[in-house]
Amino acid sequence: MRISVAADENAGVAAAVVEELRRRGHEVIAHGALAPEERDDWAWASEAAARDVAEGRAEQGVVCCWTGTGASIAANKVAGVRAALCVDAYSADGARKWNDANVLALSLRLTSRAQLDEILDAWFAGAASADPGDRANIAHVDAIE
């Protein structure tokens, strides 16, 4: 799978995200501090990764900033992106199941390497719910302007 990854600084688990995704056999498109020629501010880097997902250059994305909040907000401004800030495996599983999230947002400050592995395990094992109520919620979110 092709995954677009953005970080606003090369701190915390930023490099580990790229390393772990590649170890799992994914192709990584890097943005922000992970791509030296690009602007590394969280808003610009997260937008770039989100646009890769929305425009089909990547199937999923991972955006990172110090808290993860700004990265998720910026990514969610891009139509077609459903970014979820995940702090553990349970929130990652729920984001995939109930929100059909296609961009994972992570905190560079709070995410340990052990948590990263658990979050990615849950993220990639998860799938969107087929429940009609859940699907209706996703359709409604996609229609909100």
Go through the chain and tell me how many residues it has. 145
Q: Which two tokens stand for residue 45?
A: 């880097």
Catalytic one of 65, 71, 74, 101? 65
Angstrom distance (rounded) from CA 112 to CA 9: 16
Residues facing residue 104 across a β-bridge: 62, 84
Contact in structure between 30 and 55 (CB atoms under 8 Å): no
Q: Which two tokens stand for residue 18?
A: 């790229």
- Strand spans (E) along the chain: 2-7, 27-32, 60-65, 83-85, 103-107
Q: Is 64 annotated as catalytic? A: no
Residues whose CB is less than 8 angstroms from the CB of residue 132 and which lie 6 or more positions away in sequence, other chains included: none
Angstrom distance (rounded) from CA 137 to CA 121: 25
Active-site annotation, residues: 65
